[in-house]
Every structure is written in C-alpha cells, then in structure tokens.
A and B are shown apart, each in its own frame.
Chain A
Amino acid sequence: MATQAPPASTNTPTDAPDAIVVRFAGDSGDGMQLTGGQFTLSTALAGNDLATFPDFPAEIRAPQGTLFGVSAFQINFGSRAINTAGDAPDVLVAMNPAALKVNLAALKPGGLVIADTGEFTKRNLDKAKYDANPLEDDSLAPYDVLAFDISARTLEAVEPFGLGKKDGLRCKNMWTLGLALWMFDRPREPLHDWLNRKFAKAPDIAAANIAALDAGHAYGETAELSAPLKQVHLPPAPSEPGLYRTITGAEAVSLGLVAGAQLAELPMFFGGYPITPASAILHHLARLKEYGVTTFQAEDEIAAVCAAIGASYAGQLGVTSSSGPGIALKTEALGLGIMTELPLVVVNSQRGGPSTGLPTKTEQSDLYQAVYGRNGDAPMPVIAARSPADAFEVAIEACRLATQYMTPVMLLTDGYIANAAEPWKVPDPDSFEPFPAKFLEEPRGEELLPYKRDEKGSRPWIKPGTPGMMHRIGGIEKDANTGNISYDPANHQHMTDTRKNKIANIEVPDQEVAWGEQTGKLAVVGWGSTYGPIKQAVRRSQDKGCSVSHIHIRHIWPLPKNLGELLSGFDRVLVPEMNTGQLKTVLRDQLLVDAESLTKTSGQPFQIAELEEAICAYFDGVQGNEGGQVAANDQQLPSTVESE
C-alpha cells in the first residue's frame, strides 16, 4: 500500500486510503451474503476494483445467534488494482454478538466496529459465550466503536408499511447497506431499482426495504458529525477501457464452457449432481438451453459422469462437475474416458477435505487426486483457474484440450473462486480462435481403424449413426489400430506408452513470470486461487528490495516445457499452497527442483501479510530477519535439508 498522505483539510468526503476492506457479519438468516453482493455491485458501478470473499456456514439455517451460525461477506475495494479480498478488515459490521465474537480477531487495530445494540441482549450474549457485554466494558478499546440500535431504527423506518416485528426486522440488512452506501459515497438508485425488481410481486415489501435503505443512508448523513463515522470516497481504479461486469467463478466457468462448446461447434451435455460448492455451475447452465446446452441432474456422481461420457460418445461435448468427494466417485469413469479416448471436461470446485471435510470452505487439496488419482496408468491434462474472471478462459482451454486431444480434462477451481466475485472486462467472443471438432465419416484407408492416430496422437471421433463405420469400444485394453479387445503383451505396453505420450506431448504455452525478473534469488510458485495474495506479497517484498519473482502455473499436467529451465534461474523456490504441499511434490517429481512448501489448510485463503513474512524470511537485511535465515518459521517453512 502506498504511504499515507499527510492529513489534508477535513473536507467531506474524507481523504481516503487507496483501498478499504469491509466485512459484513451476522446470523446466517440475516441476509449478509445478499447485503455483500449488492454492496459489491454498487462498488463495481462506482468504478473501484474489488475482490470479495463470502464465508458462510454449511448449515442453511443454523440456530439463531450461535457462533457456528455466523455468516460473513468481506469485500476489498479501491482506486488501485485489487487482487485479494484483503487481509484484515478496516470496518466490521457485526449484526449480533456472535458475529462480533467470531470476526473481531480479524479486524485491523484501530478499525471500526459497527454493532447493532438491539441484538446485544442477555440471551444473545449467552449464545455467543460472552460473560459481559463487550460494548459496555473496555474490551473494544483498541477499536473505534459505533454501537446503536439498528433493529429499533429499522422498525421505525418500516413502521408505515404495517409489517410485523419479525418481517420488519428482516429489513435490517437493507438499513445497514444504506449506511454503508453513505459511508462510501455510493448512489442508492441501483439498489432502489433492484429492490423494485426483486419484490415486483410484493410492492409493500419493496417499499419497506427501500425505506430501510434510505433510513440507514440518512442516519449516516445526520450522524456524520459524530466521530468515528466518516464518509470516504475512493476514486475509480484505473483499468483498460471497455465494458465491465462483476462475475463469480461459477458464472465464469459456466460461460466459458458455453463459449468453449461454441468454439468447438458442438452442443454441450452437462451431467451433474448437487454438491457444495459446485452446484452453482449446474444452476447457471440449466438456464442456458438456447445455447445448445442440455443439463442432466443425475441420480449420483457416477451417473453424471457416465451420462456425459455417453453424450461425448454420441457426438456432443460431455461435461461433468463436482467437488472432491464427488470427483472420487467419478474416478472409475474417468479411466473409461481415458481408455476409450473420448472428450470430457471435468470441473472440480475444490473444498476442504478429506471425506466430507469442510464443504463451504476453500482448499487446494485435490491436486494429487487430479494428477495421480486413478487406477492404472491413466494420465489426463490438469489445468487450474486463478480467479473468478480467469475461470472463463480456463474453461475454454479445457474444452479445446478435450476435443483436440480426445481426452478427459480436469479443470480445478475452488470454493473461493466459485463464490467470490470480481470485475470482469467482458470479452469479445470473436477474439477467440475457434477449434471446430471433426468427426470421421469414412475410413482413412481401406480399413476402418478407430484407434489409428493423427499427428497429435488423437484417435478419430466417430459418431454412432454414421453409415459403414460400426465398431466397438470399451474399457478393456484395445488393439492399437482396430480398437478390438487385445490382451497382447506388446500391445498393452505400446498402448500404455501411447496414452502417456499423448498427454505428455500436449502443446502447452511457455511459462512466463507473472511478476518480477526472469532470474533472481527466490521464485514464489503458485497455482489456482493463491494468485492474488502471492502477487501482492511479491510486489510488496520487491518494494522492500527483495529479489523475488512470482510464477503462476495454469497448466499443471503436463507442465510447461520451459518451467524447469525457468526455475533453475532462481536460487530458491517457494510454493505456497492451501494443502500440505501437493504442487511442490509434482515439481520435485517432474523437474528435480528443490521446491519448498508454505502451506495453509484452515479453510481460509492466504493473507498477503503472512506470505510477505514468509518471503522476507529468505532475505538478508529485512528488518527483524538479519542474515536471511529460512528457519524463521519452522512450522511453515521446512528446512531445505530433508531430515532422515
């Protein structure tokens, strides 16, 4: 972050830093995700760059007021490029005691707490395991506190609409949103429009919510003089000219798959089964039938992938999607897809594991599963999206690889990417190179040879229904040309090698350095959703004079051909991951590089500060780490010497 400007005149709006982090926290029934989502939209419309992090419990309606029922939505926005949802919030909106208890530790020292005193009752304090009301003792002394009865003020505002107390209190989130809109100098009109559209069939509810929103806004205006509430204005972030919208990872994957199928000139068949956090993709695609999409909610994960394989066999682009446990169930069918060499896109929205794990929390721990996790020698390409917007391009790339190389492809995203939103410059669909799929309609020579390959190593795609091209395929090892069953030892050796080489020789773009020099002391290598925090941490470390570069890997299997050479230009290689070191293992295995791990499996994304600290530990002259010894943090940074 830029150094703080000297205090200027105290004009309104207040002079602001270039980025602010706000966290809305409340009961899972308080509508915090909705509040956050609408605040995101108004922030985007104001031209700020932003990133969000919705963090909610697995329970749909956890018992009210409990610690485990707290739902939060964090947004980082600013007048400069934003890559993460932010480390510590500057502002915490706590709708009840439990929300305060769960989230206070994250708040920046000196940060602002906005709390609804109406919810700080004895009963709610007990549920949140508070012995005393924190708003009334000195436990919030390190922070600015703005505590007032949001509940009562909301009821006042909606009183003319004759809602009961219960329904009236449902408008609390809009009151709070109104206050937030005032704080950050946002227009209310888009929200008015949205509420009128959302409650078109219940004009009273719309009017009550608008009244609550306006009342919250008015409160900010009139209470302005009382510190610590100040209005902050962040000018728009500079960005490329063009049309923008906000997009979540699940939306971007869905749109990317639609675009990919169009570029392949194929109808898409999407087989899915409900699972958190992957279901959103099925929800989006189910509404896009006019784009040649058939969605099939199968009886289980296995049927979802098998139906997709059946559709690919019949000439469509088969796609399936799930999260770790569901991908585990699909594994045998992925082997069938690899054996029969049919196109298939598999999207894994990773979550905390193993087993059911943490369904609503993010993790990157399915990399081994993607790369190594099948019976037999069963290679398939693995690619990963780095952000919600990036997921669009990566989904197109998955469609390209699947159809051009006749293979299942694994696309890795995670719970963070799936749910988080960021601004997205809407691409021109014509800017992507089409890759039309080709079907073989007559034998290439005298004889029909369904397994005879082209120069890329791909076998022909032959649709049932094509006259004169009848043949049989299946999961048993097949003859290298005819595809008939073959138990011949030399043939199996040949086919195993062929399948391996086909994937190994896939053309992958050369690896580039995401940020920094081509050589140096430290390369920080990441994949997936750690892109944002790593990029920021590397930039900040460079500002401190560290010779560090950021390398971000999209193609995980096969790896870019030049990656080994690129990494050899650095003295040390650090791999931060939200698992116990899975990409590190792959890099060591494939490149014989002495990669070191920095791992985190708390279900929360990396913070920039913790990455920055780990990076700086490698450098001499950084304050607090003279000598640059790596052992600064034994738990997170294993010694470079393997212990016996």
Chain B
Amino acid sequence: MNAPVKIETTLKDWETDQEVRWCPGCGDYAILKAVQRTLPQLGSDPANTVFISGIGCSSRFPYYIESYGFHTIHGRAPAVATGVKLANPDLDVWLVTGDGDGLSIGGNHMMHVLRRNVNMQIMLFNNEIYGLTKGQYSPTSREGTRTPTSPIGSVDHPANPCAFALGSGARFVARGIDVSKNLPDVLKAAHAHQGAAFVEIFQNCIVYNKDVFDAFAAPKGAEGQQLWLADGEPMLFDKGTKGLAFDAEKLAFTVVDVVDGDWQAAGVRVHDVKNRVMAHMLAELPFDPFPMPLGVLYDDPAPTYESAVIAEREASVSGKEANLAKLLSGGQTWTVDGSAQDPV
C-alpha cells in the first residue's frame, strides 16, 4: 500500500452541487459539515476518497460529498466496501450507515467487516429510530419507545453499538455527538487508525425521535453528563469535579468526587485506549448515574485484512509463473494417438 499523498483542499471543495434533502434541523447536517471540515485537515484527496453507504437517511451522505460515492443497498455497504478495499487498498474508504442499516438488516456484515479488520472509517449514525420509513422503532430504540409499529411501546431490548463493535473484534471504537465541536477530532483519530475504525455518532432525528439524547447531549448541563475520554488522561467530568474510579471488589467503575483537582487522591483511573477490558466497561457503562463516555474508547491497531490478503498472495505467487497455456494443459494429458504424457 502506498503512503497517501496529502493535498490541500478547503471545506468548499468537498461540497457537491446536489441539493441536500434531509429535514431542516436534522443532525445529519451537522455531521456533514464536521466531515467536510475534517477532510481538508486530513489532507485527503477527493479523487482517492470513497464514501460508501447502505440505505436510510444517513446513507444519502455520499451524494453530498465531492468525492467518489456509492449508495448501495440496505445493510450491505460493509460488504461492498470490503470488495472495494481488496480491489484497491490505496483508496480511502468511509462507510456511512445507521442503526437500522448497520445493526439490523446489516448486522451480519458489520460484524464481519469489524472482525476482519478491513481498513476504513465506519460512521454509524445512531438516532434510535427508522427515519426514512417514517418512524418505526429500531434495534437501538429504548424499551417502551412508542412508534407506529409499537403503539403501546416497544418491548425489544436495545443493542449497544459500541459493545457490539467490541464484541465483533473491532480494534477502534469511538463515540461522538452530531453537534459536538469534538466530532472532527474523533473522526481524525478514526482516520489515523489503520484498520476498521468504528464511530457511533448520536444523531438527533428531529421529526421522529426528537431530542432523545438530550439527557447528555443538550448543551445545558453537558459538562456534568459527558465524559470525554483521552488516552493517558484521568477520566474526569463535570469540570474536573468528578471522575471514574475502579472498585476492584465489584469489578466495576464508580463515580467519585474530586476535591481541589486532586484526582489521584480520589482514585480516578487514567484512560488507556489499548485496554480492551476497560473499553468493554466504558461501552457498557449505564448512563445516569454514570456520565456518557465519549471520544475514543478503544484504539489498539492490528494488521489489516487487506494487508494479510496481499501478503498471502505475494507469498503464494512468488516463484510461480502465470502461464495460461500451461494452466489449461495441467494434470494428466494425452494425445490423440493414445500415448499418455507425463503430468505437465
């Protein structure tokens, strides 16, 4: 794989002439802008960038980014993207999916693209609802969600996207919020990771599931509800007055008060992005009484799928000659007079 050539672009260079068709006020607009702001900072080349999506509101994304784009079919974007990366590993692939596309109809493909570790950025827009089909409950909807298909409340237990990703073997798992100023940093970390980088983005569907994340995403009180993780830094929130400590007896996190900034005295743990056990605990941390862990939960690279495929091919091909005539006449042959030849 060649080292990517960084080129200079502006946000404008990543805008298409297509009319954006999301509902006014949709969180998708904020994510689109965050991505268009991030790409120039990464030095990305539009000609070498491919956005691949499935079906749903989120999956319209590729039409609005001036790069190569493939709007595929429901749930199957990870499979299409895997084919793209195997055919041309040099392409910089971004996958755009949603909670229904990526965890319901496409849950199987999501699992396999993560465990194979195909090098791409996966943005899962989680709005806990089926928006494009007009508001049915999704695999991430909380129990009791009232929708046209669950008029007295859904009874399904919701899936946890980050826990699913870790369980599937993902080597990079992060969380962001559509309107958060930190989203570009999360996306940059995902891009820097070599391998499948899974980012759950809480996205506000203002029509069918309005403000469902307000308890932690609303600007007011966010400090007390959001735990922004940073590798090597103590896990503090609420302006440094609270933190996560580890209760060894219960094998669980607890929230502790931090007095005068002395987080060591309070026993607050330092975040380690390579600690897989900690990542599982953070992904599963129940919101309220705990804060919502955001940013990079886990980042521990492993060899990518395509690099392994290429290495195996190179090893297997070395010393072999691609001679079609020889291949066709392989095995035991004979001529019409009936005399057998030695195997070729």
Contact = CB atoms under 8 A, between A and B. Distances in A.
Interface of A: 41, 44-47, 190, 236, 239-246, 255, 258-259, 262, 267, 269, 271, 288-292, 294, 296, 298-300, 302-304, 306-316, 318, 332-333, 335-336, 340, 426-429, 463-476, 484-485
Given A306-B109, A463-B88, A466-B47, 19 more contacts: A45-B338, A47-B334, A47-B338, A239-B336, A246-B331, A303-B79, A307-B80, A309-B80, A310-B79, A310-B80, A313-B83, A314-B83, A314-B84, A333-B73, A335-B73, A428-B325, A470-B69, A472-B70, A475-B73
B133 interface: no
Contact of A245 (B52, B63, B71, B331): B331
Query: Which among B48, B108, B109, B328 has the highest number of chain A CB atoms within 10 Å?
Result: B328
B335 A242 contact: yes
Nearest to B321: A290
A322 B340 CA distance: 35
A468 B67 CA distance: 9
A306 B68 contact: no
Given A307-B80, A472-B63, A473-B71, A258 B324 contact: yes
B320 A469 contact: no
B11 interface: no
Contacts of A292: 322
Interface stretch (B193-201, B226-234, B309-317): B309-317
The 8 residue pairs across chains A and B that have the minimum distance between CB atoms: A310-B83, A474-B71, A307-B83, A47-B338, A306-B79, A314-B87, A472-B69, A303-B79
B324 A45 contact: no
A239 B337 CA distance: 9
Query: Which among B55, B70, B109, B320 has the highest number of chain A CB atoms within 10 Å?
Result: B70
Contacts of B71: 472-476
B68 to A, nearest CB: 4
A243 B70 contact: no
B327 interface: yes
A317 to B, nearest CB: 10
Given A259-B324, A291-B324, A474-B70, A299 B112 contact: yes
Contacts of A428: 325
A298 B332 CA distance: 33
A312 to B, nearest CB: 8
B327 A313 contact: no
A303 B82 contact: yes
A299 B332 contact: no
B76 interface: yes
B333 interface: yes
Interface string B74-94: 001011111111111011000
A474 B71 CA distance: 4
A45 B309 CA distance: 39
B47 A310 contact: no
A426 B329 contact: yes
Contact of B313 (A47, A240, A294): A294
Q: How large is the interface on B (under 10, 10 to 19, 20 to 34, 35 or more residues)?
A: 35 or more
A271 B83 CA distance: 8
B229 to A, nearest CB: 31
B66 interface: yes
Interface of B: 16, 18, 46-48, 50, 52, 55, 62-63, 66-73, 76, 78-88, 90-91, 108-109, 111-112, 309, 312-313, 316-317, 320-322, 324-325, 327-338, 340-341
B75 to A, nearest CB: 8
30 contacts: A45-B334, A47-B337, A236-B336, A242-B335, A243-B334, A244-B336, A245-B331, A255-B328, A289-B312, A294-B86, A298-B112, A299-B108, A299-B112, A309-B72, A310-B79, A310-B80, A310-B85, A333-B76, A426-B328, A429-B325, A464-B47, A464-B84, A469-B47, A470-B46, A470-B68, A472-B63, A475-B71, A475-B73, A484-B63, A485-B63
A296 B324 CA distance: 22
B82 A310 contact: yes
Nearest to A308: B83
Contact of B332 (A45, A294, A303, A429): A45
A428 B332 CA distance: 17
B3 to A, nearest CB: 15
A313 B321 contact: no
Contacts of A289: 312-313, 316-317
Given A241-B335, A470-B67, A475-B72, A484 B18 contact: yes
B316 A290 contact: yes
Contacts of A469: 47
A245 B333 contact: yes
A475 B72 CA distance: 6
A239 B312 CA distance: 42
Given A47-B334, A315-B87, A300 B108 contact: yes
Query: Which among B47, B76, B108 has the highest number of chain A CB atoms within 10 Å?
Result: B76
A244 B328 contact: no
B327 A288 contact: yes
B79 A302 contact: yes
B79 A307 contact: yes
Contacts of A308: 83
B66 A470 contact: yes
Contact of A310 (B87, B317, B330): B87
Contact of B340 (A190, A241, A340, A468): A190
Contacts of A242: 335-336
Given A290-B320, A294-B313, A470 B47 contact: yes
A296 B85 CA distance: 12
A45 B85 CA distance: 45
B86 A240 contact: no
B83 A318 contact: yes
Nearest to B331: A245
B338 to A, nearest CB: 3
Query: Which among A308, A310, A484 has the highest number of chain B CB atoms within 10 Å?
Result: A310
Contacts of A296: 82-83, 86
Contacts of B16: 472
A258 B326 CA distance: 13
A271 B86 CA distance: 11
Contact of A307 (B70, B82, B332): B82
A468 B338 contact: no
Contact of A468 (B47, B70, B87, B309): B47
A585 to B, nearest CB: 29
A318 to B, nearest CB: 7
A470 B46 CA distance: 7
Contacts of B88: 314-315, 463-465
Given A236-B338, A307-B86, A313-B70, A245 B330 contact: yes
A589 to B, nearest CB: 29
A490 B271 CA distance: 58
A465 B47 contact: yes
